[in-house]
Amino acid sequence: MAFYNPFAFRPAQVTFWTTAVYLALLSSLIYIHENVPRAPQDSALPPGLSLSEAWHDLANLTREYHPFNSRSNDAVRVWLLVRLQQILDQNSASWTTERDCIG
């Protein structure tokens, strides 16, 4: 009666362990890649940061395709400037635009 060795270098054992290792690595990589960690609550963030506002701003930015030199790109630029002015005013930061500096 022969002794069965699961770690012997025979085709069946090598195939089994190679498949098991590849499946373990591949499944863990797919799990890490496909699952996004939970975002922290707004209360856990430093004052002045809000993930819900950031998500809303991102939704506004990506609402439509805006290639370079298009009217939608100009609209996004204007929206960004207005939003930045709102954020800076809300935080009582001093700011000027490039046009203010020139003239």
> Quick one: pLDDT at residue 100?
62
Does position 94 have pLDDT exceeding 50, yes or no?
yes
Q: What is the mean pLDDT of residues 6-16?
A: 88
> Quick one: pLDDT at residue 20?
97
Q: What are phi and psi of 62, to 5 degrees?
A: -100, 20
Q: What is the mean pLDDT of residues 59-77?
A: 88
